[in-house]
Amino acid sequence: MDLVVGRVAKSHGVRGEVVVDVRTDDPDARFAPGTRLRARLPRGGGEQSFTVTAARHHAGRLLLSLDEVADRTFADTLRGALFLIDSSDVDSGDDPDEFYEHELEGAPVTTVDGAEVGVLTSVLHMPAGDVLAVRTPDDREVLVPFVREIVPTVSADGIVIDPPDGLIDAEV
């Protein structure tokens, strides 16, 4: 399974730098100069590998220079490209309070009262915050805000939620 560690937001400057929205907890290692990045290109462009030649932080974002990108024109074509790693290359370790999203997929979701809600299918990163997508036994999708007040317990073995009235049984 592929994990996204970054997404090209736009080009920057005239020398082909790209602005990257970071989606990893270790950007200094994932985007270090000399690192080979595998990218899924936008608009069905397939995959391509890139070599990081420089990485720097600017205005709260990461700017990358890539060996294969010499100018703004090519950098513009990368908008929306996803930088990927294989999930088998990462491990959250032994700490029960640390996990990667892919380790949670398929976990059972129950309420604090023990009622079955469904199975976690994915964690969605929305502008207003993260959301858990849960598939219910009757094949509906329930979106649960991923905040401590609603999701007090998270582990790869199961997720416990304390949903407000109407969240799970809301009419679509």
| Whole-number percent of the chain with pLDDT over 90 | 60
DSSP assignments along 94-147, one per residue: S-TT---HHHHTT-EEEETT--EEEEEEEEEEETTEEEEEEE-TTS-EEEEE--
Q: State which of 29, 53, 88 marks the end of a domain.
A: 88
Tokens of 93: 């370790």
User: Over the stretch 92-116, which tens digit does the pLDDT of each residue have?
Assistant: 555 556 667 777 889 999 999 999 9
pTM equals: 0.63
72 with 129, same domain: the answer is no
Residue 166 within a domain: no
Q: State which of 88, 115, 136 marks the end of a domain.
A: 88
| Residue 113 domain boundaries | 101-161
User: Over the stretch 71-91, which tens digit does the pLDDT of each residue have?
Assistant: 999 999 999 999 998 876 666
If one counts the domains in the chain, the total is 2
User: Over the stretch 20-40, which tens digit does the pLDDT of each residue have?
Assistant: 998 887 899 899 999 999 999
User: What is the C-alpha R_g of the chain?
Assistant: 19
Taking the mean position of all CA atoms in its chain, how far away is CA 152?
21
Residue 170 within a domain: no
Taking the mean position of all CA atoms in its chain, how far away is CA 90?
14
Handedness of CA 47, 74, 6, 67 (dihedral sign): positive
